């Protein structure tokens, strides 16, 4: 396998998974603020653990990604001031801008997983 998965990276992936789960549950339950906030906390912590604290700080403060960073944190602010629909839309846009360069790496990683890799190679 091309990628080494350490225990720390497993924890980061798990936290990102919990963050996505709680965010989706918050959206399903009519934009419940508590679940959305919990999902964001898990997701941000998971990204920081997976990438490393310095790399995460560099990612969010990189001049090329200011648009995504401002959009993401503005969405987080709108989530906390009880405008969850606007907040989620801004956060999704910010994530697409911030993590758009990671999609090819994610695709290569997913191709190495037995069942998921077969599905991805069949669809794309």
pLDDT 10s digits, 76-108? 999 889 898 999 999 999 989 988 888 888 788
Q: Is residue 116 part of a domain?
A: no
Q: Are 42 and 16 in contact (CB under 8 A)?
A: yes
Domain count, the chain: 1
pLDDT bracket for residue 110 (50, 70, 90): confident
Alpha-carbon span 92 to 51, nearest angstrom = 19
Which string of b and e fits 50-85 if b means at least 16 CB within 10 Å? bbeeeebeebbeeeebeebbebbebbbebbeeebbe
Q: Is residue 113 part of a domain?
A: no
Please give the residue range of the domain that contains residue 36: 7-99
Q: Is residue 18 part of a domain?
A: yes
Q: Is residue 28 part of a domain?
A: yes
For the segment 1-27, the average pLDDT, to the nearest whole number, is 86
Q: pLDDT at residue 7 above 60?
A: yes
Q: Is residue 11 part of a domain?
A: yes
pLDDT bracket for residue 109 (50, 70, 90): confident
For 39-79, write each residue's pLDDT tens digit.
Answer: 999 999 999 998 899 999 998 999 999 999 999 999 999 98
What 8-state DSSP symbol labels residue 113? S
pTM of the model as a whole: 0.76
For the segment 112-123, the average pLDDT, to the nearest whole number, is 81
């Amino acid at each position: 396998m091309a990628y080494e998965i350490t225990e720390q990276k497993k924890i980061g992936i798990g936290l990102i998974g919990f963050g996505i789960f709680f965010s989706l549950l918050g959206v399903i339950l009519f934009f419940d603020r508590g679940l959305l906030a919990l999902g964001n906390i898990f997701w941000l912590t998971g990204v920081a653990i997976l990438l490393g604290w310095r790399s995460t700080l560099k990612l969010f403060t990189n001049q090329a990604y200011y648009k995504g960073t401002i959009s993401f944190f503005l969405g987080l602010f709108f989530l906390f001031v009880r405008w969850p629909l606007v907040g989620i839309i801004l956060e999704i846009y910010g994530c697409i801008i911030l993590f758009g360069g990671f999609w090819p790496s994610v695709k290569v990683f997913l191709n190495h997983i037995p069942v998921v890799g077969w599905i991805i190679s069949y669809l794309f």
